[in-house]
Structure 1
Amino acid sequence: MQNKGLVKFFAILFALVSIYQLSFTFVANKVKNDAKAFAGGNPEKEIKYLDSIGKEKVFNLGFTDFTFDEVKDKQINKGLDLEGGINVILQISVKDVLKGLSNNSNNPVFNKALDEATRNQEGNQSYLDAFFVAFDANKGTTKLASPDIFANRNLSDEINFNMTDDQVKKVLVKKVDESVESAFGVLRSRIDKFGVTQPNIAKLGQTGRILIELPGAKDVDRIKKLVSSKAELEFWETYKAEEFMGFLGSANEALKATVKSEVKEAEKPVDSLTKLLTDKETDTASAKKGNNPLFDRLVGQGGGPILATFTTKDTAAINGYFKRPEIRALVPADKQNVKFVWGKPVSVKDAKTKKDVETVDLYALKGNRDDIAPLSGGVIVDAKDSFDQMGKPSVTMQMNGAGARAWEELTGRAYTQKSAIAIALDDVVYSAPGVSTGPIAGGRSEISGNFTVAESKDLANVLRAGKLPAAAEIVQSEVVGPSLGQKAIDAGTTSSIAGFLLVCLWMVFYYGRAGWYANAALIVNLLFLFGILASLGAVLTLPGIAGIVLTLGTAVDANIIIYERAKEELREGKTLAEAVKASYGWKGAMRSIIDANVTHVLTGAILFIFGTGPIQGFATTLLIGIFTSLFTSIFIARIFIDRDIAANRSLMFATPTTKNWFTNFHFDFIGIKKWSYAISTVVVIVSCISFYFNGLDEGVDFVGGRTFQVKFEKPVEPTQVSEELSAVFGVTVEAKVFGDDDQLKITTKYKIKEDGVGVDKEVNEKLYATLKKYYKDGLTYENFINTYDGKTTGVLQASKVGAAISADIKTNSFWAVIGAMLVVGLYLVISFRKWQYSLGAIAAVLHDVIFVLGLYSLLYKYMPFHMEMDQHFIAAILTVIGYSMNDTVIVFDRVREFLAGNVKGSFKDVVNASINTTLSRTINTSLTMVLVLLIMFIFGGESIRGFIFAMLVGIVVGTYSSLFIATPILVDSISKKDIEEIEKRHAE
């Protein structure tokens, strides 16, 4: 090996750098363990402890000291499936952005285009592109640069009346990008102040989507509210309750004719307001519950700015009543612009049932024709969580100069009219204080209400960060409990160690001392791999661990190819030095190694491009592993081999037991191609029939929906749970055993097309209410839904995928598989310079994909583990494609070599000889892969069992197809003229 000293220098340098990078991970883990011990299982105490030591020096390397914040920034970060926490993907509403840019235009063409874009947006198409298509289809003579659309005062510097639609579209693209960038900044500011260690926030391309990852986060509802709140702060004058008593009475009477009240006796603890608002002289029978659609829903009487109080569950019905034209017409003529707005929900105890009931106050705001608040949150320059005069949590705000003047004017008007000022955030009134001392100067105000300390901190945080430029809808979310994370870590660690030991033992058993050299290279490879992950700041996930373990199987592949070639050279009578030199040469094993690994890199790259989250983690570790494996296999093991050559030690690349294994094979693979074609044809036909009748078990990733992994205190009957939840949700709810008998995976598509924190909370509450009977008394909603250290029951993991994002995932997955086959096929055409090689490889891969999909279609109803079509499954399919191509390329390289060489015999004999002489490498590599995957299948945990099974089946069928499908197709596709020339050359 030339430049041996230089290789050693770089290997040692790289090893030292890797150890340096990994040292931060060890130190960070030690500090975190100390924090857990100090906190005694209290997660908030643990976070506060870590925050308090952020600037303290915790690591000394002799030449410099590092604080804990610096150490944790350099460590290998663990993903949500290992650390626990919350993952959210937000979709910034481009529709809201466009409406804002148009100054809330009433142009019918513009608004029709907005509505059609919402309905017609498909797959990866952005909302903006869908809007352009809809507008072009409906515009007639209307232009985007019309005065009542985008050629308005707000955009006068960038859009004028003379601009074409194409010119305006370019401006809109820029403006939408700016809005997403603004939303990104606002969300980053909110998250950075939340107190979670190592938060991650990233824009997802040009989709308008923003990914937020909060490792270690606990409170699901709080975090979802924090990230999706638009933070539209407004100050409105209010009407007094007595000004709308007449309206409420008239509305109740008008509704009697068309609405039948369905309020039960137990649900109406207070009826004094009903009596108050009805005519006192009216016969009491007329006020009887069941005859008053509006009043029967009252649970509290109004006063001051509060019109009345209702239960939260009745707000939708009340909103519906007030939107009716005949009810709206009853509003007094001088109050036609009134805005009916609800307050912040409050939990109270029902006096009769003794149960907690969530109630909400109704306010009437003094609206205007433009529906613009007299004062908005844009004037807020600072906000702090504090405590009011009663000692309750509140938020104090400071306004700028313009805001202070407007605030003084507004409070002066309220003082004169004896009205209150409602402080509303995202159309929810948080407080409505009266003004008793005259106009308030200085621009200082306070929001008080029924806050917890955490809520007041979050509200102050949101107000300081500013409002989002448009609504942010949660289109995908995932919640992972740390107890599941620890199980995932344990399972991944166990499978990694077991897989590593098995590969090492096999290499020593089969190759003797050369096997030890390969193992040394494997250890160095793992050091390099983890060192690079640490230096890149990569996030380690469970699929990432799978990628590392898979690297263990593929890392020895290059050594196997070299060792098998060296054995062939030794059998031809060459010395050890000559055999090694030939094996490492381009005409030896190197060309096969390069071709095989290029195909693997291409599929890994496609997986990284089209995958998201954990799948990118898998692709990252796989790609890094390929490069580190190549370096260590080619150079590290060679150092040890060259030492044997220099010392004149014998090295046979085998043991006495395995010396003659898989040699002198003369199997006629081409002769039985009719049988292999027939078997594969039957498999493809059966698979297609199963696709038609059984379909595939498409996971939430592909069809949208919510999934909960729920741990019970003892085994439960899945069918019973499914029936109970289906009855409550009103749609089919699947419940399947997931791992242990006391753990279920619950899936529902209930309201998946509806967005908002309220819907998510509704689903969580229905789930809790239905399942709490399976737990001992005392299990609270918070303990059931939220995650915390030491939790052993309840929701361990939850995920949500919206319909739009699931369509994107399905589209990306399809193109990932097709793209992988086409890209690798193109590479083979370039490398082998004959399209027949590419045809054979693609046909074999297509056969493998259909086989695996068909098997999943046939068995998903009967296997004891889940066989869902999700992103993990697509990762497995792409890995199978990479491996099958890898295996096929090794055989094809030998075919090319023999066809260009001096092997005697017919074309069929030359091809058969090519397959037989590579059989040892094929079996060895496949066997090490199967051993590793079997270990992962057994010990790797339920969450990746279906993923591993797909790869396990794929490796086996990929080995079969490379021998019995790819090469026969290559032979059948070569023209008779070419065959005659080949046979003539090899007969001489």
Structure 2
Amino acid sequence: MNQSPFRVFVILFVAIAGILLAAPNFLPKSVQEALPGWLPQPGLVLGLDLQGGSHLLLGVNQESIVSQRLSDLRRDARNVLATQNGIGNIITTDVARNTLNIELTDPSQKAQAETAIRGLQNTLSDFMFSGVGVDELSFGETGDGRLTITLTPDGINQRMSSLVAQSMEVIRSRIDELGTTEPTIQRQGDTRVMVQVPGFGDSERLKNIISQTARLTFHMVYPGMTADQAEAQGLPAGTMILPSQDGGRELLYEDVAIGGESLVDAQPAYDQQRGIPVVSFKFDTRGAITFGELTSRNVNQRFAIVLDNTVITAPVIQQPITGGSGQISGSFTTASANDLAVLLRAGALPASLDVIEERTVDASLGADSIQAGFTAGVVASILVLAFMVVAYGLWGVFANISLILNIILIFAALSTLGATLTLPGIAGIVLTIGMAVDANVLIYERMREEQASGKSPLQAINAGFQRAWGTIIDSHLTQLVAAVVLYFMGSGPIQGFAVTLGLGILTSLFTAYTVTSFQVNLWYKRVRPKKLNIQKFRFIPDGTKIPFMKISRVVIALSIVMTLVSIGSAFTKGFNLGIDFVGGTAIEVQHVGGPADVGQVRELLGGLDLGEIQVQGFGTPQDVLVRVQAQEGGQSADQVAVQQVQEALAGENYEVRRVEAVSGTVSGELAWTGTIAVIIALVCILIYIWFRFEWQFALAAVTTTSHDLIMTIGLFSLTGMEFNLSSIAAVLTLVGISLNETVVVSDRIRENLRKHRKMPLPELIDLSINQTIVRTSLTQFTLLLALLPLVFFGGEALRSFTIAMTFGSIVGMYSSVIINGPILINFGLKQKTDDDEKADAEKKKRSPDGASV
């Protein structure tokens, strides 16, 4: 209870800094702009689910990269062999093996050819480690004497990685051209880019602008032969056939006469003579010279302007174009001409990007989510704060002040980190409100026990803080493990939940112990009470002696039956898997002007021939959720399906509020990642508890936690609630909550094993549970006070998540109290004799660092 000046300074500094960092986020925009410059600017960013916008996960198309690279390599090989060295050759492409096969017309030139093609070797540098590179090509020879050039796996991976980095810059330039604010563009792994644009509701336009490669090239048209004739007679050497925008085909030279990289400007324009939108362009000096020479040499010849392997236009060169500028005409609208100009100004993507995950939220739905989260948070806070005062009186006020500061520090930390606050993130904060009280309850209950054992008020206060600290650390760290695993294994909103939960755990360690002890110290010095009157209300009276071990057989039998039912339901009935795990598209629509007619929506969509379509009520009577299976044509087909659904419902006054599309590839990855996350969390916690306790406690903790997980997952199967990424977050959070209860009981059992060595183990476990049951009932009730407002007011998006959390927390308390003890006995937990204690002391003395081994 001695408060050093430094400790007081730290508490006051953290509190004031937290208030200054958090407060601006809750002020109107006009007030924020008027704040003095020395005050920190708000750094908290609202997620797309709270302010609307678009989220895209883009994947580099490896097939297109390899195909393009083989095409370029084939052209380079032909150039270095035939043009530069006069070596006759026939080059074929083996796409399956990523290989070029070179057959020489004169085998005696093999040595010269090998030397020539080895000059094509390209060393790709690692973007993370400068100076480290890999060879892109490997050279060999087939059994029949043909030379081979093969793209190496490391070379392909390195090229894809470098192309992702280049693509991010191009995407950033394109989004900046649109004039949007605060886009988030992040690399995800080696081959993916995540793009979030808050407030940009036209997701279709955003996808087209971001994912279109926009590779502009100029090719000369092969004269005197049509594409159909060339296909019938055989393609002339160095030519290719490309489709044209008007539905035809053109025979072009493969060689790029001039590329889009020479462009310095592109603007939408209007051709007054023809009355059509066009795109005017301008080359840099070098490009202007090249373009002038090209057009001068080929007057009266046709040249093609090609965008992403499609011929936009192929006019005849009437006269040399020496000004370095021109225009592209085609079947443009004003909007498409503007978008093409944006693409050309920003530059071409170095690789094709596929949209493999899409989430779009309407701004009105975001506003509803904010209101739902705010309502749930306020109701939960009022309930928890009020209950603490009812249960502990003045001591509850101390805990409430610490809790309020805890919430302020969470927002301050989020603001400082520039983190994104999502709806699951708000749920994490509300959940922290319930869990943060647990540390204060542990301290207060320990004080009551110490005073009951005959200690003075000051001794009881000191002992309460000191002896509860170890249990608080153990219980919080087990939850922190789950939060860390969630962050690194999750994505998007799940990471937002993990961040707020993790920060809440860390801040509650500071506030519940340091800040509460500071308040208690000030109060004690002023009042000097002769007796601590801590608790005003309790669910279970002191001196309760419930024979838990006697009823454990019946309870365990019941648990086995319920576990088997859960497992049986999972295997027979299965789960209502969300699109996160099965792929497809979810579209949330709202009927304007009255309740939605689910039957009408089902009838309107029944004739679209989109495969399986599920239609169900969602949230309010006006809302409907439409789930469309993944289409066979991939991402483009999924987009067409969304458009068809929108068009079918538009005439009946349905507005689209949210769209989520996940490819089959990503859904499989998410399911696997979620499973791995649960396993990793359990293993990490097993190791931690094994280290802190004995192996019997670790195995018992994992066994009871596994029981809780099976029961909770069974709930999803039995009730048919949607099982999605948020469900994985709920499961992992339950790992922490369940272990929190188990650790508290186990810690008391371990303490009593040292104190009551003659007591039979079943009686000792009963004693330990009865000593902690008051704390368990109080913390469980406060947790429910925080969770139930989320269930009723948190919105439909969080419904299954919060129901699972509520159910799982009750099951976790039940298993920690009743099931954990018998499992400890069955795993062979024994009381240590005096001889065992002496042996442990001898081992400790022999240990080099003096620590127990």
TM-score by length of 2: 0.86
> 1:486 maps to what in 2?
367
- Structure 2 residue 734 is the aligned partner of structure 1 residue 734: no
Pick one of 122, 125, 132 that aligns with 1:155: 122
**Shift in Å, 1:403:** 2.6
Where in structure 2 are the equivalents of 1:473-512 lying within 5 Å? 473-512=354-393
> 2:128 maps to what in 1?
none
SS of the counterpart of 1:196? coil
Deviations 1:491-529 (A, max 9, x none): 000000000010001100001100000001111111111
**Letter in structure 2 aligned against 1:843:** T
**Shift in Å, 1:556:** 0.8
**Shift in Å, 1:176:** 2.8
Where in structure 2 are the equivalents of 1:361-760 lying within 5 Å? 361-368=246-253, 371-389=254-272, 393-412=277-296, 415-417=299-301, 419=302, 421-436=303-318, 438-449=319-330, 451=332, 454-585=335-466, 588-650=467-529, 657-658=536-537, 661-713=540-592, 714-751=594-631, 754-756=634-636, 759-760=637-638
Q: C-alpha distance in 1, partners of 2:334/2:201?
A: 16
Where in structure 2 are the equivalents of 1:922-933 lying within 5 Å? 922-933=776-787
Distance 1:530 1:159, change over 3 A: closer
**Shift in Å, 1:654:** 5.6
- Structure 2 residue 213 is the aligned partner of structure 1 residue 230: yes
> 1:59 maps to what in 2?
34
Deviations 1:34-86 (A, max 9, x none): xxxxxxxxxxxxxxxxxxxxxxxx3341658x9xxxx5xx4310000001000
Distance 1:840 1:760, change over 3 A: same
SS of the counterpart of 1:647? helix
Pick one of 37, 53, 78 that aligns with 1:85: 53
SS of the counterpart of 1:475? strand
Where in structure 2 are the equivalents of 1:762-911 lying within 5 Å? 762-775=640-653, 793-832=654-693, 834-860=694-720, 867-902=721-756, 905-911=759-765
**Shift in Å, 1:27:** 5.6
Deviations 1:552-586 (A, max 9, x none): 0011110010001011111122222110100111x
**Shift in Å, 1:810:** 0.6
Distance 1:220 1:168, change over 3 A: closer
How many corresponding residue pairs?
791
Deviations 1:941-986 (A, max 9, x none): 011000000100000000001011122101211167869999999x
SS of the counterpart of 1:473? strand
Q: C-alpha distance in 2, partners of 1:974/1:572?
A: 31
Q: C-alpha distance in 1, partners of 2:97/2:559?
A: 51
SS of the counterpart of 2:577? coil
Deviations 1:896-932 (A, max 9, x none): 0000114762111111111110001111111111111
Q: Are the equivalent residues in 1 in contact too, given 2:184–2:196 (CA < 8 A)?
A: yes
Q: Are the equivalent residues in 2 in contact too, given 1:607–1:878 (CA < 8 A)?
A: yes
Q: Are the equivalent residues in 2 in contact too, given 1:28–1:75 (CA < 8 A)?
A: no
**Shift in Å, 1:232:** 1.0
> 1:341 maps to what in 2?
243
Q: C-alpha distance in 2, partners of 1:467/1:365?
A: 22
Q: C-alpha distance in 2, partners of 1:336/1:592?
A: 76
Q: C-alpha distance in 1, partners of 2:530/2:151?
A: 73
Q: Are the equivalent residues in 2 in contact too, given 1:101–1:150 (CA < 8 A)?
A: no
**Shift in Å, 1:647:** 1.8
Q: Are the equivalent residues in 2 in contact too, given 1:89–1:211 (CA < 8 A)?
A: yes
**Shift in Å, 1:230:** 0.6
Distance 1:332 1:896, change over 3 A: closer
Give the superposed CA RMSD: 3.3
Q: Are the equivalent residues in 1 in contact too, given 2:267–2:279 (CA < 8 A)?
A: yes
Q: C-alpha distance in 1, partners of 2:435/2:546?
A: 26
> 2:64 maps to what in 1?
96
Pick one of 783, 788, 796 that aligns with 1:934: 788
SS of the counterpart of 1:556? helix
Where in structure 2 are the equivalents of 1:15-26 lying within 5 Å? 15-26=15-26
> 1:290 maps to what in 2?
none
SS of the counterpart of 1:398? strand
Deviations 1:422-453 (A, max 9, x none): 433213444455544x1101321222455455
> 1:212 maps to what in 2?
195
- Structure 2 residue 170 is the aligned partner of structure 1 residue 186: yes
SS of the counterpart of 1:396? strand
* Deviates most, 569-578 or 375-384: 375-384
SS of the counterpart of 1:367? strand
Q: Are the equivalent residues in 2 in contact too, given 1:27–1:59 (CA < 8 A)?
A: no
Where in structure 2 are the equivalents of 1:902-981 lying within 5 Å? 902=756, 905-974=759-828
* Deviates most, 185-194 or 611-620: 185-194
Gaps of 5+ in 1: 33-57, 116-145, 248-321, 344-360, 776-792, 861-866
**Shift in Å, 1:407:** 1.9
Q: Are the equivalent residues in 1 in contact too, given 2:121–2:136 (CA < 8 A)?
A: no
Deviations 1:715-749 (A, max 9, x none): 34434533542431241101111012221111111
**Shift in Å, 1:237:** 4.5
Gaps of 5+ in 2: 75-90, 100-112, 125-134, 142-148, 840-853
**Shift in Å, 1:111:** 1.6
**Shift in Å, 1:100:** 3.9
Identity %: 32
Deviations 1:306-352 (A, max 9, x none): xxxxxxxxxxxxxxxx8xxxx97558998995735232xxxxxxxxx
Q: C-alpha distance in 1, partners of 2:365/2:635?
A: 27
Q: Are the equivalent residues in 2 in contact too, given 1:514–1:653 (CA < 8 A)?
A: no
Q: Are the equivalent residues in 1 in contact too, given 2:539–2:778 (CA < 8 A)?
A: no
> 1:785 maps to what in 2?
none
SS of the counterpart of 2:178? coil
SS of the counterpart of 1:441? coil
Q: C-alpha distance in 2, partners of 1:939/1:148?
A: 73
SS of the counterpart of 2:300? helix
SS of the counterpart of 1:423? strand
Deviations 1:130-178 (A, max 9, x none): xxxxxxxxxxxxxxxx979995626279567679999955444433321
Q: C-alpha distance in 1, partners of 2:770/2:657?
A: 51
Distance 1:631 1:675, change over 3 A: same
* Deviates most, 458-467 or 218-227: 458-467
SS of the counterpart of 1:797? strand
Q: Are the equivalent residues in 2 in contact too, given 1:888–1:962 (CA < 8 A)?
A: yes
Distance 1:179 1:657, change over 3 A: closer
Q: C-alpha distance in 2, partners of 1:690/1:160?
A: 53
**Letter in structure 1 aligned against 2:45:** N
Q: C-alpha distance in 1, partners of 2:185/2:729?
A: 24
